[in-house]
Amino acid sequence: MTAAPATQLFLYGAWVFNIDQAQILVKEHPRDVGLTPVADWATAYQLDRLAPDYDGARWCPVFGPDQSAFNAEHALQTDLNKPVIIATMEFDGCPAILLIDGVHRMYRAMTEGRATLPAYTLTTAETTRIRER
């Protein structure tokens, strides 16, 4: 008997997003693929500070993306044609976006000097559905 695969989650501070559910939403509700800027996300997620031999921090930031499972070697093998997933949340009545799937692809794109990556953007309602806390 084999164990069920682990659910893919994205942690950002205290927030937890179910990536498996986000991927199902995108399949069930097709949408246009947009483009998202690599440099902006690399800076926001401090990917530009990760050395090529980085193999995960021993800590998780209080607020920010959890880089404890980041592996630069794995990142360089990722498929840059697969769209990343961006969540949309609302703060003080204004939309705010958060990259929840594709940090490894973003790192590879940054190291290769790519300007953009393909992206799916979830609505605020969809983001609420896939956010576990």
Give the largest Cα separation in the chain, rounded.
49
Taking only the tens of pLDDT, the chain with its 133 residues reads 666 678 999 988 889 999 999 999 999 999 999 999 999 999 888 887 776 666 666 555 545 666 767 788 889 999 999 999 999 999 999 999 999 999 999 999 999 999 999 999 999 999 999 999 9
The predicted pLDDT at position 60 comes to 53
The predicted pLDDT at position 55 comes to 64
Q: Structure pTM?
A: 0.88
How far apart, in whole angstroms, are the C-alpha atoms of residue 132 and residue 60?
18
Question: Quick one: which of 118, 127, 124 has its CA closest to 22?
Answer: 127
Q: Give the CA radius of gyration of the chain.
A: 15
